Chains A and B, each alone.
Chain A
């Protein structure tokens, strides 16, 4: 069972590395925003899995709040890029 968790963490780390490369070198602002959204989603999943690994229930609450804040940030940046703010 522990090897499944190691595989999941390695795969999520590779996905976060690729998203971070796009976040650094993305040509437009929308590219950087969508890379940040992907980083947020992978981070929520990684927090829940860390909570299972360490047997801490509070990590799930942290993941829920992080998902809400990341969603609000993406919506605000998108409205600003559109010119509505």
Chain B
């Protein structure tokens, strides 16, 4: 058992544990923004370290593994950002008390894009 196999095995354990935690966070979190946080950051770390672990175990595959790692590192934050922006513009509230929804509405008044959308909804 060489040193590369030991490093690859440790990376496999770390990656699969973080992928499991990402799925559990998707299931357990109360609202859409927390689910975005758990479902993209944990799976980014988990997927990157698992693919890198396979690249350590099978050393001929390291270049294509690096391509997959770079693609995951670019694509996952972009999709998370697009989904958070879409759910904010659709008017989903975060998981807050009913007293603090007025603060959220006051914040929505400041941001100009949503204000334009509200006018379109009234018209």
| B interface list, Cβ under 8 A from A | 1, 5, 9, 12-13, 15-17, 19-24, 26-27, 32, 35-36, 39-40, 43-44, 46-47, 50-51, 54, 57-58, 60-61, 64-65, 67-68, 71-72, 75-76, 78-80, 82-83, 85-87, 89-90, 92, 117
Interchain CB contact under 8 A, A75 and B47: no
Q: Are A12 and B47 in contact (CB under 8 A)?
A: no
Q: Chain A's nearest CB lies how many Å from the CB of B113?
A: 10
CB distance from B48 to the nearest CB of A (A): 9
**A52 touching B54, Cβ below 8 Å:** yes
Contact B68 A63 (CB under 8 A): yes
Question: Which residues from A are CB-within-8-Å of B80?
Answer: 34
Among A52, A74, A82, contact of B89 (Cβ-Cβ < 8 Å): A82
Of the candidates B61, B75, B90, the one whose C-beta lies within 8 Å of that of A71 is B75
Q: How far is the CA of A57 from the CA of B62 in the complex (A)?
A: 11
Known interface pairs A34-B83, A45-B47, A49-B54; A11-B32 also in contact (CB < 8 Å): no
